[in-house]
């Protein structure tokens, strides 16, 4: 459920679409802002206001041009270089530095989780796909925690990660689920590779890529096989009062939550239930359930560790240079079939897409 706000490519000299990505999309916060509970509504409105401000700042950075990132002193090729800052519930970025790459864990669990989550993401991409950080060239990984007052979101602004503490009523600390951290950082990987347009089916693919690798980072960290994984995105983020288990389910899209305040998870799992809408950038957070489910079906069919075979196919297509910015589900599906080794894996890829109603020929 990330919302990525896209500025015009023509304003960006790097050729990448600059993004401001939040894990909780405006459509959810809009609903919370209309809650009859004044405290919930106030927290949601405050979060929406901060998101709007950060989105504007991101667009200004795009027009001016972001400075190039030089390798900092002490950085080592093939090793993460993480810096965690504390905003102390204010909104100035990056805040006060509280932990560097070589520093030992401190007393603040949020700082420690952010540091570990950045490292887990770096490790999966490096060890499994030989990618050195988000950009493939050792980009330093920076994060700010304790951002804002009851800020109910986390975001990647194209340069760093930012985590709110949540309001404690609907959302808990946004550093709790490692797949949320991985999801957001994967949007950076997409930005530096296929750069999928954030609207309609390519936008839903963008969201799905972030979910897929966010889930794989969680599974890799826990040492889980496809059969052992829960395939939930954001498990542990929802507060006890919420009737739900996560933000999304890749195994069973549409079942993650059904709550009086949040509403019901709107994701479909196949093209028969594809949602055509002008909201949410053409339903990017809704229809991402379809490619999400295809990946789950493939991983389940192949068995073992999902990052080894299913993940490798998805990564190869994402970074292979043939995936167009405006790719449809069918375009992506065809490329995954071509990328899969002939035999069992290729047949499994075709079957997974077939079960979701996405053509591969």
Catalytic center residues? 184, 285
Separation CA 326–CA 8 (nearest Å): 15
- Three-state DSSP at 142 gives strand
The secondary structure of 226-274 as a DSSP string is TTT---EESTTTB-TTSSBS-SEESSSTT-SBEETTTEE----SSGGGP
Half-sphere exposure of 132 (CA within 13 A, CB side): 12
**Could you tell me if 277 and 287 are in contact, meaning their C-beta atoms sit under 8 angstroms apart?**
no
H-run or E-run covering 161? strand 161-163
User: Which tokens go with 198?
Assistant: 């954030």
3-state secondary structure 27-93: HHHHHHHCCCCHHHHHHHHHHHHHHHHHHHHHHHHHHHCCCCCCCCCCCCCCCCCEEEEECCCCCCC
Q: Residue 171 forms beta bridges with which residues?
A: 238
- Three-state DSSP at 94 gives coil
Rounded to 5 degrees, φ, ψ at 80 are -70, 150
**Could you tell me if 361 and 334 are in contact, meaning their C-beta atoms sit under 8 angstroms apart?**
yes
**Could you tell me if 85 and 96 are in contact, meaning their C-beta atoms sit under 8 angstroms apart?**
yes
Separation CA 114–CA 177 (nearest Å): 10
H-run or E-run covering 144? strand 141-145
**Alpha carbon of residue 287 to chain centroid:** 15
């Amino acid at each position: 459920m990330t919302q990525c706000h896209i500025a015009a490519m023509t304003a960006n000299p790097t050729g990448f679409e600059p993004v401001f990505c939040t894990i909780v999309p405006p459509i959810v916060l809009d609903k919370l802002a209309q809650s009859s509970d004044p405290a919930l509504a106030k927290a949601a409105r405050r979060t929406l206001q901060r998101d709007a401000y950060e989105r504007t700042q991101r667009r200004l950075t795009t027009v001016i041009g972001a400075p190039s990132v030089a390798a900092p002193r002490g950085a080592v090729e093939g090793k993460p270089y993480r810096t965690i800052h504390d905003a102390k519930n204010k909104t100035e970025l990056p805040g006060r530095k509280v932990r560097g790459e070589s520093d030992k864990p401190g007393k603040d669990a949020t700082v420690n989780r952010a540091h570990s989550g950045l490292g887990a993401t770096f490790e999966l991409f490096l060890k499994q796909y030989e990618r050195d950080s988000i950009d493939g060239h050792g980009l330093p990984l920076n994060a700010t925690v304790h951002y804002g007052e009851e800020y109910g979101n986390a975001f990647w602004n194209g340069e760093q990660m930012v985590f709110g503490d949540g309001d404690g009523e609907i959302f808990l600390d946004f550093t709790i689920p490692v797949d949320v951290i991985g999801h957001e950082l994967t949007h950076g990987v997409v930005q530096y590779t296929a750069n999928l347009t954030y609207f309609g089916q390519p936008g839903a693919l963008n969201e799905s890529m972030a979910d897929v690798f966010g889930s794989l980072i969680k599974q890799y960290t826990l040492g889980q096989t496809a059969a052992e994984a829960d395939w939930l995105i954001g498990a542990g983020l929802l507060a006890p009062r919420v009737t739900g288990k996560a933000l999304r389910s890749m195994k069973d899209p549409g079942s993650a939550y059904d709550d009086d305040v949040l509403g019901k998870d709107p994701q479909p799992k196949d093209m028969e239930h594809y949602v055509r809408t002008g909201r949410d950038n053409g339903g990017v957070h809704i229809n991402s359930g379809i490619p999400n489910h295809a990946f789950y079906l493939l991983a389940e069919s192949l068995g073992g560790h999902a990052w080894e075979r299913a993940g490798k196919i998805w990564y190869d297509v994402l970074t292979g240079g043939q995936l167009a910015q405006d790719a449809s589900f069918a375009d992506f599906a065809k490329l995954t079939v071509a990328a899969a080794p002939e035999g069992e894996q290729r047949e499994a890829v075709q079957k997974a897409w077939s079960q979701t109603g996405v053509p591969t020929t």
